[in-house]
Amino acid sequence: MSAPKTKKTAAKKYDYDAIVIGTGPGGEGSAMKLAKAGKRVAVIEKYRDIGGGCTHWGTIPSKALRHSVTQLIELKNNSLFTKHYPQHESFTFADVLRHTEQVIGKQVKMRSSFYNRNNCTLHFGEASFVDNHSIKVKSADGSIETITAQDIIIATGSRPYHPEDIDFNSPNVYDSDTILSLDYQPQHIVIYGAGVIGCEYASIFRGLGVKTDLVNTRDRLLSFLDAEMSDALSYHFRNSGMILRHDEEYQKVESSKDGVVIHFKSGKKMKADCLLYANGRTGNTDLLNLQSVGLKPDSRGQIAINEHYQTAVENIYAVGDVIGYPSLASAAYDQGRIAANLIITGEGKRHLIKDIPTGIYTIPEISSVGKTEQMLTQQKVPYEVGRAQFKDLARSQILGSDVGSLKILFHRETKEILGIHCFGERAAEIIHIGQAILEQEGDGNTIEYFAHTTFNYPTMAEAYRVAALNGLNRLF
């Protein structure tokens, strides 16, 4: 473990102690930690409202859309409502966007209050480096001001990757940001890119009854997941009527007012009302003038950092999507706090937890923490599996949501929990029960904890007891 770089700059009067560029989770985590420690903090936001891409185009909008669509699906599948209160009108993408806009508004109001309460100075405009202590801010009206600080944290996030040979100004060609401006109900959509974002939007559109083709450039969905979880998602996508096309790459995209035609390298062609391109993201670094401080991002706009989130310039830090993996809002917030703590204390003792949970808000949800079966097999770890099927849980039967399962991987000899994988509604919530035990030291993180704990009944949490007993019964 390397020690953090020590400050070599002589004491000097600056406008602020720290400047944070960006108000997404990484920027907010940094700014709040610094401000609560008594630091004078300036925060720069390019957009008209705080919150960053997470609030306005990414995490919050897509999850709010998903929630609305999930409720519609539940309503359609509930015979009580369909029999006695039949719905004669269908809901469109524009309809469910209204709920999303309300959530975004609440988030902006709440998060703005954080900055105000903690006396952070907000500057709205485009930030660019003058030198390693000075930032130029260009506001919407063209006026320019320069502010200075001892330390600077880059938390500018990322945006959808745009290949040069696709015209995103064409009608009916969207990315995961601009899809929120879709003002009509397509009959058929092609989603190119089957990563987390592509899979989530495929769930949303298929849930609205839109004919959906999901094009995957790889051989299976979300290959970083435990294979059983990935296979379950593929099955339910196909069962919903979605078309999955693996190992395909586009050759060219033709767009007109009537729709799009995608030509593939395999020789296939597809026509649809619109295309959602969701294959990769790019760090928002192109306008920062990083060359003026000797920093050079990689081909995807990402900045290299050490384990303390310091760049090659000792007083400049970077957190969140702009540094790449794990590209999670939850991790970005913690990264911001860790970088701020180093600025405050000069000590680099804090780090992200080892096992960061993954939440994928498809329909149904997937959430995982720890090792997969494939990892453990490759590492020759003697593990066993405990499973609980949601269809067997009383609470799941009451909810009418019997799709899904919980899987616990544990060491055959020590019974230490090695990984937890959940597929089904509320998976991203359910996973945290297991995560809390997984993170315990010593004998506190064995599967026997779940077997000996009394859970509320009926609950989804009871799946842990069922899975634990199932796994322990496999031992001999």
- Return the CATH number at 202: 3.50.50.60
Domain stop point among 225, 260, 279: 279
Residue 72: per-residue pLDDT: 83
CA distances from 420 to 151, 223, 315, 401 (A): 39, 16, 39, 20
Indicate whether 179 and 46 sit together in one domain. Answer: no
Above 70 in pLDDT, residue 81? no
Q: What pLDDT, on a 0 to 100 scale, did the predictor assign at position 7?
A: 54
Percent of the chain exceeding pLDDT 70 equals: 95
The arithmetic mean of pLDDT across residues 58-82, rounded, is 82
Tens of pLDDT along 280-315?
999 999 999 999 999 999 999 999 999 999 999 999
Q: Are residues 302 and 155 in the same domain?
A: yes
Structural domain count of the chain:
3
Give a yes or no: residue 354 inside a domain.
no
| Per-residue pLDDT at 84 | 56
- The arithmetic mean of pLDDT across residues 162-178, rounded, is 95
> Does the residue 338 lie in any domain?
yes
DSSP state of 458: S
66 in the same domain as 126:
yes
Does residue 434 lie in a domain region? Answer: yes
Q: Write 394-402 long-range contacts (CB < 8 A, 24+).
A: 394/457, 394/458, 394/462, 395/458, 395/459, 395/460, 395/462, 396/424, 396/460, 398/458, 399/425, 400/74, 400/77, 400/78, 401/74, 401/425
Question: How high is the pLDDT of residue 73?
Answer: 83
CB 342 within 8 A of CB 4: yes
- pLDDT tens digits, 226-240: 999 999 999 999 999
24-33, 38-47, 68-77, 78-87, range with the lowest pLDDT: 78-87
DSSP state of 414: T
- pLDDT range class, residue 10, cuts 50, 70, 90: very low
Question: Do 143 and 184 share a structural domain?
Answer: no
Q: What pLDDT is stored for residue 2 in this prediction?
A: 67
Q: Does the residue 11 lie in any domain?
A: no
292 and 270 in one domain? no
Q: Of 279, 301, 318, which residue constitutes the final position of a domain?
A: 279
Residues 131 and 28 reside in one and the same domain: yes
Q: Which of 345, 376, 396 is the last residue of a domain?
A: 345
Q: Tokens 């079966």 identify what position? A: 373
3 state DSSP class of 158 = strand
Evaluate whether residue 2 is within a structural domain.
Answer: no
Q: CA-CA distance, 285 to 23, in Å (whole number)?
A: 15
Residue 314, judged by CB atoms within 10 A of its CB (0-12, 13-18, 19+), counts as: middle
Residue 303 belongs to some domain of the structure: yes
Say if residue 267's pLDDT is above 90.
yes
* Residue in the structure block whose two tokens are 């190992």: 247
> Domain for residue 417, yes or no?
yes
**Quick one: which of 129, 153, 155, 146 has its CA closest to 14?**
146
Looking at the structure, tell me whether residues 156 and 299 fall in a common domain: yes
Residues 87 and 92: their CA atoms lie apart, in Å, by: 13
Q: What is the pLDDT of residues 190-212, one digit of tens each?
A: 999 999 999 999 999 999 999 99
- CATH number of the structural domain spanning residue 380: 3.30.390.30
Residue with the two structure tokens 């799941």: 396
Most confident of 93-97, 182-186, 273-277: 273-277
- The Cα–Cα gap between 365 and 222 comes to 13
Residue-wise pLDDT for 135-159, tens only, equals 999 999 999 999 999 999 999 999 9
Are residues 30 and 154 located together in one domain of the fold?
yes
pLDDT at 8 over 60: no
Looking at residues 251-273, what average pLDDT do you find? Answer: 95
pLDDT tens profile 427-444: 999 999 999 999 998 778
Per-residue pLDDT, averaged over 7-23, amounts to 81
Residue 345 banded pLDDT, cuts 50, 70, 90 = very high
For residues 210 and 307, membership in a common domain is answered with: no
Mean pLDDT to the nearest integer, 400-407: 91
Separation of alpha carbons 293 and 8, rounded Å: 16
Mean pLDDT score, 104-109: 95
Shared domain for 84 and 35, answered yes or no, is yes
Residue 25, preceding peptide bond in cis (omega within 30° of 0): no
Are both 455 and 369 inside the same structural domain?
Answer: yes
Range of the domain at 448: 364-472
Q: Is residue 351 part of a domain?
A: no
SS3 content of the chain, % helix, strand, coil (to 5): 35, 25, 40
Q: Is 98 exposed, middle or buried (0-12, 13-18, 19+ CB in 10 A)?
A: exposed
Mean pLDDT of the chain: 93
Instruction: Indicate whether 23 and 124 sit together in one domain.
Output: yes
pLDDT at res. 11: 45
pLDDT at 164 over 60: yes
Q: Which of 8-17, 329-338, 413-422 has the lowest mean pLDDT?
A: 8-17
pLDDT (average), residues 110-118:
96
